[in-house]
Amino acid sequence: MRDGRPLEILCVAGARPNFVKLAPLIAAFDATPNVVARILHTAQHSDARMSRVFFDELEIRDPDVLLDPGAGGHAEQTARVMLGVGAALDERRPDLLLVVGDVASTLAAALAAKQKGVPVAHVEAGLRSFDETMPEEINRLLTDRLSDVLYTTEAQAEANLKREGIDSGRIVFAGNVMIDSLLRCLPRATPFEKSLASLEAPDAFIARARSGYVLATLHRPSNVDQETTLAPLLGALVEISRRAPIVFPVHPRTQRMLARPSLRDVIRSGDILLGPPIGYLAMIGLMRDARLALTDSGGVQEETTGLRTPCLTLRTSTERPATIDCGSNRLIGVEPESIVAAACEILRWGGARVERTPPLWDGKAAERIVADIVSRFG
């Protein structure tokens, strides 16, 4: 208790990956006496397929504060989030603001709190791709610089922070809250055949998928925003689909590009099932049952590691080296020939599961984070 009142935490989330990280933290806060955790949803992802379904499936209670960032560019939305978070901080004056991940809302909320003199905790701190052309890398660097306490998921993240001059007393190796959600929800994961049916997969596709399928996700601007880059990646998927069918839930950013007839023609030449973004329970079911995942997503790299499903990351850098160190993930780059060769190699030897996961990816990260917050700020 602080002056006879509970410890009050304002937890900020705004996009699909944030919700997966937020769910176990809210559950742990709610189970802790004399702690009040409030949820502020910045609505960076407001599409029901990218937001509401995650609150429902992850069993997160409704937000206490829901912002409306409105239309406009990145800078305009960031400014509106800062204003909205600032107003919420003025109204409640919490003891701590907690942010997760590396999306624009993460940085905007941390900036607003720092300007108001409210301490900031960053969950999933210290991850570095060392590629500052990625918006997420800038968000990570600045959020970590602003944060008072930094919770890391892997050893390399702590090393990154120390190299950048962050005092070790502010760094806590807590584990990975993404894996907390994964392990908690896995018993309810949607069987892959049910997901394929909901995506209206042809019977022939489902029959072939029973012998093994590949899951693909692509959404990074560097991969999907230019046709000259995306077309060769799609060509690689087509080639891989000759060996195993591919399930490809398409991010809205990528959907806009696939509306181009030339790219639709490329993808139609393969055994590839395109679908809209899918819910969390369907996604973890597809990852669990896949022989291989092809992705440029940080979250998929982590979740496939937790599931011991082989993963090829279609990027030239990754901020999650622990997934590579344990053998579940391979950084393959964006050259189509390399992608096809690596995928076919895995499919030939059956996509055997990896037998170990990184330290503290054990489903208890949120408990450790909440205990540390109470000891520091309670």
Residue 1 lies in a domain: no
Residue 246 lies in a domain: yes
User: In angstroms, rounded to a whole number, what is the distance separating the alpha carbons of residues 375 and 378?
Assistant: 6
Residue 49: is it exposed, middle or buried by C-beta count within 10 angstroms (0-12/13-18/19+)?
middle
Which residue has tokens 């030449």?
269
Residue 20 lies in a domain: yes
Residue 65 lies in a domain: yes
As given in the structure block, the two tokens for residue 289 are 């049952």
Q: Across 267-371, where does the E strand assignment appear?
A: 272-275, 292-295, 311-313, 329-331
Nearest-Å Rg of the Cα atoms of the chain is 21
Exposed e or buried b for every residue in 319-337, given b needs 16+ CB within 10 A?
Answer: bbbbbbebebbbbbbbebe
User: In angstroms, rounded to a whole number, what is the distance separating the alpha carbons of residues 275 and 284?
Assistant: 16
Nearest partner of 156 among 372, 359, 20, judged by Cα: 359
Cα distance from N-terminal residue to C-terminal residue, the chain: 6
> Based on the domain organization, do 53 and 163 belong to the same domain?
yes
Which residue has tokens 């055997």?
352
CB of 85 closer than 8 Å to CB of 99: no
Task: Specify the pLDDT at position 15.
Answer: 87
> Based on the domain organization, do 36 and 148 belong to the same domain?
yes
Task: Specify the pLDDT at position 350.
Answer: 64
Residue 355 lies in a domain: no
pLDDT along the chain (378 residues), means of 10: 84 93 98 97 65 89 86 77 95 96 95 97 98 93 98 98 98 98 98 96 97 96 95 98 97 93 93 95 97 96 96 96 93 97 90 78 98 96
Residue 301 lies in a domain: yes
> Based on the domain organization, do 252 and 369 belong to the same domain?
no
CATH number of the domain bearing residue 56: 3.40.50.2000
CA 362 to chain centre: 17
Q: Is 59 left (phi over 0), alpha (psi -120 to 50) or beta?
A: left
> Based on the domain organization, do 172 and 315 belong to the same domain?
no
pTM of the entire structure? 0.94
Residue 68 phi/psi, 5-degree rounding, is -130, 90
User: In angstroms, rounded to a whole number, what is the distance separating the alpha carbons of residues 105 and 190?
Assistant: 30
Task: Specify the pLDDT at position 353.
Answer: 64
> Based on the domain organization, do 117 and 204 belong to the same domain?
no
> Based on the domain organization, do 324 and 273 belong to the same domain?
yes
> Based on the domain organization, do 262 and 125 belong to the same domain?
no
Task: Specify the pLDDT at position 306.
Answer: 96
- % helix / strand / coil in the chain, to the nearest 5? 50, 15, 35
Residue 185 lies in a domain: no
pLDDT digits (tens, 9 = 90+) for 255-287: 999 999 999 999 999 999 999 999 999 999 999
> Based on the domain organization, do 200 and 331 belong to the same domain?
yes
> Based on the domain organization, do 279 and 233 belong to the same domain?
yes
Task: Specify the pLDDT at position 48.
Answer: 46
Task: Specify the pLDDT at position 47.
Answer: 55
- Count up the domains in the chain and report the number: 2
> Based on the domain organization, do 104 and 202 belong to the same domain?
no
SS3 category, 156? helix
> Based on the domain organization, do 205 and 132 belong to the same domain?
no
> Based on the domain organization, do 242 and 157 belong to the same domain?
no
- Catalytic residue numbers read 219
CA distances, 354 to each of 103, 285, 291, 303 (Å)? 29, 17, 12, 13
Residue 282 lies in a domain: yes
Residue 130: is it exposed, middle or buried by C-beta count within 10 angstroms (0-12/13-18/19+)?
exposed
Domain that holds residue 84: 7-176+361-377
Q: Which amino acid is residue 218, in one-letter code?
A: L
